[in-house]
Amino acid sequence: MVECVIDGCGEEAVREVDRSYLPAIQSLKLKLRGDPGKKIPLCRKHYKMVKQARESRF
């Protein structure tokens, strides 16, 4: 399985997002474990949070 890359999480990742999501991740004060590559795996919970944060910026 692929783990969610958010520091302290460790849930199974259900989605991968690209780096355009990084500002949304940072706006939520979430930290990544290390430097992600082009794809950032996220669990269901964090994907929802990040997606909402991203959409609310527009």
Residues in contact with Zn ion by the rule CB under 5 A:
4, 6, 9, 11, 43, 46
Q: What is the nearest approach in angstroms of Zn ion to the Cβ of residue 3?
A: 8
**Minimum distance, C-beta of residue 48 to Zn ion, in the bound complex (Å):** 10
Dihedral sign for Cα atoms in the order 15, 16, 20, 22: positive
Residues 6+ apart with CB under 8 A from 51: 24
Paired with 16 in beta bridges are 41
Nearer to Zn ion, 12 or 37 (CB): 12
- Comparing CB distances to Zn ion, the nearer of 35 and 58 is 35
